Amino acid sequence: MRLTNKKLLLSILGLLLAVLIVKIALFVTAKPKITVNYVAEYNRMSRPQDYDPNDNAAPYYQKAFDTFVETPDKFEYPHIDWPEDFNSADQALLQEWLTSNTQAFEYFREAVDKPYYWLEREAQEDNFMGSMMLPELAVYRELTNALIWEAKLTALEGRFHAAFENILDCYRAGKHKCRPNVLPSEQHVGLRIKQTAVSAALVILDRVQVDNRASKFFQDDLQQELDTDTYVPGSQAERLLDYDMLQRTFVDNGRGAGRLWWRMGFDIVIPLVGEGKIYERKIKLSCFTGPTKKQAAKQIEQTFSLFNQVITKTPWQIKDEGRDYFREIENINKRYISLEIFDIGIDANSIFHNYHKTRAQTEALITILAILRYKIDTGQFPETLNGLVSSGYLQAVPNDPYSSGPLVYKRTADGFTLYSIGADFSDNGGTTTIEQPTRFLGPRMPLPATRCADIVYWPVQQRSEAGTQPPGIKLDY
């Protein structure tokens, strides 16, 4: 009897050992399955409805890129924003460079007249969205910056209509990249180009006396660009990228319960050697204890659901509601270190504020044009912005996205001030002092958090005072 029990016990142990060996074998040999070509999905999603190749700006932009003469180092990141502030040799170099780009500018102007700019993207690695290249973005910004310099030189010559046409062309180029169904990096570039164009216009208005006819033309056309701009930031492309990352890093067991691929988990810790054993251990253990593929997918959906809620509100509405959507979005992926490492989700805070600041800056420029026109016609600045509306100089008083009211307009002894109260939601009287406390965006990643007081659009700060940021806007991303 005792021998029989012993055999039974050995049989059970043998069976358990066999099961364990099978499980280990399955764990070691299991790997992700690439079932969806998300690059193709992205191309289908980003392609404009009723696409017509004849309406696509891409071929004209490419011609502009191919003929563009690169920016001389001196003008790439200048601390000067007005041509006359360069010495005579640099002014000559600036003029020579812009003249050499005459053909590129012509192609660029043809491009911005097209209704959309669509590129069919290709992946550099196994149809992985994360390997899609965006080679046009750098030269895209360079080309618009060159046209901005030409606008300033043209304004110096008194050809204001042509100068503002250049500004509008750059603004339209920014609109081409501001599409909700393209990658966030493209949307950021589009917003940045809009900001640069508007800032350049403010510098021109500050440096030269523009006649009323040119100002009205510019104001009317810019108002039309704003009125027809339906762009609101979108996260569709980033969501596809997250799902592509998910299918490549999580084991697919057919039930959605697969965990982080063990090889991927161990590869992650290689660049983190020496940065903390506890941190590394958590990453390794994610292969066994981390989220399942289904749980990770649920968190992706939670992230983008929150983003879709927050993007419909202004910063002031969020503050008034008392709910910290951005902290909620950040905390979703902090539940599991593997998702935090892969940067699943979207930087909602950055593009949200970038969008609202850009739109407010554009509305501020339109308002300033109306104020300056009123001053030329009447000999004095308006008492209120409502007076500009009632007298037909302005379509509507612009709202401040950081308050429950309009942008702040104040008469001063020698002019006026126009500003937003900014992200601290407090009217500091037009003060632009910047504080820089430390914040943390991830494990051991301290970054300076730019916090501005008020966002002053007028009077325009000189570049030497404002650093290299565009006048009239402070960015906190």
Query: What digits encode the pLDDT tens for the residues 196-236?
Result: 999 999 999 999 999 999 999 999 999 999 999 999 999 99
Residue 449 has pLDDT above 80, yes or no: no
Distance (Å, rounded) from C-alpha 347 to C-alpha 190? 16
Banded model confidence at residue 445, pLDDT cuts 50, 70, 90: very low
Per-residue model confidence as pLDDT tens digits over 8-52: 766 676 666 655 555 555 455 567 888 999 999 999 999 999 999
Distance (Å, rounded) from C-alpha 239 to C-alpha 303? 9
- Residue 367: CB partners within 8 Å, gap ≥ 6? 385, 388, 394, 397, 398, 407, 409, 418
Distance (Å, rounded) from C-alpha 454 to C-alpha 420? 6
Looking at residues 440-452, what average pLDDT do you find? 45
Claim: this prediction has a pTM higher than 0.85: yes
Distance (Å, rounded) from C-alpha 248 to C-alpha 251? 8
Looking at residues 279-296, what average pLDDT do you find? 74
Residue 268 has pLDDT above 80, yes or no: no
User: Pick from 462, 475, 461, 468: which is nearest to 423 by CA?
Assistant: 475
Helical segments of 68-135, H only: 73-76, 88-100, 102-112
DSSP state of 448: E
pLDDT value at residue 442: 43
Per-residue model confidence as pLDDT tens digits over 319-350: 999 999 988 888 887 777 667 666 666 778 88
Banded model confidence at residue 89, pLDDT cuts 50, 70, 90: very high
pLDDT value at residue 19: 55
Q: DSSP 3-state assignment of 203? A: helix
